[in-house]
Structure 1
Amino acid sequence: MADKNIESVKADNQITGFQLFAMTTSMVMTVYGFAAFAKQGALALFFLFLAGILWFVPVTRAAGEMASIDGWSKGGIFTWGRHLIGERLGWSAMFYQWIHITVGMCTMMYFIIGCLSITTNLPVINTNPVFKFILMMVILWGLIFAQQRGTKVTGKISQWCFSIGVIVPVFLLLFLFITYLVKGNSVLIKINMHTILPQKWNGETLQGLTPFILAFAGAEASAPHVKDLKKPSVYPKVMMALAVCAILSDIIGSFAIAATIPNAKIQLSTGIVYAYGILVQQFGISAGAVSVIEKIIGFLLALGIVGEISGWVVGPNAGMFEAAKEGFLPKRFAKANRYGIETNVMILQGIIVSIMAALITFGAGGNGNANVPFRTAMSLTVVLYTLMYMLMFISYLVLTFKHEDLHRTFYAAKSKAVRVIMGVLGLVLSALAFVVAFFPPADYAAPQKRTFVTLILIGFVIVLVIPFILYTFHKKWLADVKNSKEVNND
Structure 2
Amino acid sequence: MSRQDTRQGPRRSAVRPAAAITVTSLVMLNVAAVVSLRGLPAEAEYGLSSAFYYLLAALFFLAPVAIVAAELASAWPAEGGMFRWVGEAFGSRWGFLAIAMVFIEGCIWFPTVLTFAAVTLAYTGPDAGLDQQVADDRVFVLAIVLVVFWLATLISLRGASAFARTARWGGIVGTLVPAALLIGLGAAYLLGGEPSSTPLTWGAFVPDLSQLDNIVLAAGIFLFYAGIEVNAVHVGSIRNPERTYPVAILVAALVAVVVLTLGTLTVAVVVPQDDISLTTSLLQAFDHLLAWAGISWAGPVVAAMLAVGVLAGVTTWVAGPATGLHAVARAGFLPRWFHRTNRHGMATNILLVQALVVTVLSVMFVVMPSVQSAYQLLSQLTVILYLVAYLLMFAAVVALRRSQPGRPRPYRVPGGRAGVWVVGGVGFVASLLALVTSFAPPGQVAVGSPVTYVVLLVVLSVLFVALPLLVYRARTPGWRDAESSFEPFTWQTSGSTDDPRQRPGAPDHAPHGP
Specify which of 353, 356, 359 is matched with residue 358 of structure 2: 353
**Unmatched runs of 5 consecutive residues or more in structure 1:** 1-10
How far apart are the structure 1 equivalents of 2:21 and 2:343?
30
Query: What pairs up with 1:177-216 in 2 under 5 angstroms?
Result: 177-216=186-225
Does structure 1 retain, via aligned residues, the 8 Å contact 2:88–2:400? no
For residues 318 and 19 of structure 1, do their structure 2 counterparts lie closer, same or farther at Cα, with a shift above 3 Å needed? closer
For residues 351 and 175 of structure 1, do their structure 2 counterparts lie closer, same or farther at Cα, with a shift above 3 Å needed? same
For residues 399 and 237 of structure 1, do their structure 2 counterparts lie closer, same or farther at Cα, with a shift above 3 Å needed? same
Aligned to 1:5: none
Aligned to 1:301: 306
Does structure 1 retain, via aligned residues, the 8 Å contact 2:447–2:453? no
Aligned to 1:3: none
Does structure 2 retain, via aligned residues, the 8 Å contact 1:336–1:488? no
Name the amino acid aligned to 1:340.
Answer: G
How far apart are the structure 2 equivalents of 1:41 and 1:322?
43
Bigger mean CA deviation after superposition, 424-433 or 122-131 = 122-131
Does structure 2 retain, via aligned residues, the 8 Å contact 1:76–1:221? yes
How far apart are the structure 1 equivalents of 2:255 and 2:400?
30
Aligned to 2:379: 378
Specify which of 53, 57, 60 is matched with residue 54 of structure 1: 60
Deviation at 1:457, TM superposition (A): 2.6
Deviations 1:377-422, CA, capped at 9 Å, x for gaps: 3211111111100111111221233332333222101332221011
Does structure 1 retain, via aligned residues, the 8 Å contact 2:231–2:320? no
Does structure 1 retain, via aligned residues, the 8 Å contact 2:146–2:359? yes
Query: What pairs up with 1:447-462 in 2 under 5 angstroms?
Result: 447=448, 449-462=450-463
Aligned to 1:8: none
Aligned to 1:29: 35
For residues 210 and 118 of structure 1, do their structure 2 counterparts lie closer, same or farther at Cα, with a shift above 3 Å needed? farther
Does structure 1 retain, via aligned residues, the 8 Å contact 2:21–2:160? no
Specify which of 136, 141, 146 is matched with residue 137 of structure 1: 146
Aligned to 1:40: 46
Percent identical among aligned pairs is 25
How far apart are the structure 1 equivalents of 2:81 and 2:65?
13
Deviation at 1:253, TM superposition (A): 1.2
How far apart are the structure 2 equivalents of 1:395 and 1:197?
34
Query: What pairs up with 1:385-396 in 2 under 5 angstroms?
Result: 385-396=386-397
- Please state whether the residue corresponding to 2:450 is helix, strand or coil: helix
Deviations 1:75-128, CA, capped at 9 Å, x for gaps: 111111111111100111011111111122122101101212222444355445
For residues 171 and 445 of structure 1, do their structure 2 counterparts lie closer, same or farther at Cα, with a shift above 3 Å needed? closer
Deviation at 1:314, TM superposition (A): 1.6
Aligned to 2:436: 435
How far apart are the structure 2 equivalents of 1:271 and 1:102?
25
Aligned to 2:425: 424
More helix by proportion, 1 or 2?
1
**Unmatched runs of 5 consecutive residues or more in structure 2:** 1-16, 487-514
Specify which of 323, 326, 329 is matched with residue 328 of structure 2: 323
How far apart are the structure 1 equivalents of 2:195 and 2:46?
19
- Please state whether the residue corresponding to 1:294 is helix, strand or coil: helix
Aligned CA-pair RMSD: 3.1
Q: State whether structure 2 residue 250 is matched by structure 1 residue 249.
A: no
Does structure 2 retain, via aligned residues, the 8 Å contact 1:64–1:410? yes
Q: State whether structure 2 residue 121 is matched by structure 1 residue 116.
A: yes
- Please state whether the residue corresponding to 2:195 is helix, strand or coil: coil
Deviations 1:257-297, CA, capped at 9 Å, x for gaps: 111111121111221111111112323x3xxx63x432222
Specify which of 291, 294, 299 is matched with residue 281 of structure 1: 291
Deviations 1:13-64, CA, capped at 9 Å, x for gaps: 5999767544422222211111112112122122112211221111111122
Q: State whether structure 2 residue 169 is matched by structure 1 residue 160.
A: yes
- Please state whether the residue corresponding to 2:467 is helix, strand or coil: helix
- Please state whether the residue corresponding to 2:441 is helix, strand or coil: coil
How far apart are the structure 2 equivalents of 1:437 and 1:165?
29
Deviations 1:402-447, CA, capped at 9 Å, x for gaps: 3323332221013322210111110011111212222222034462
TM-score normalised according to structure 1 size: 0.86
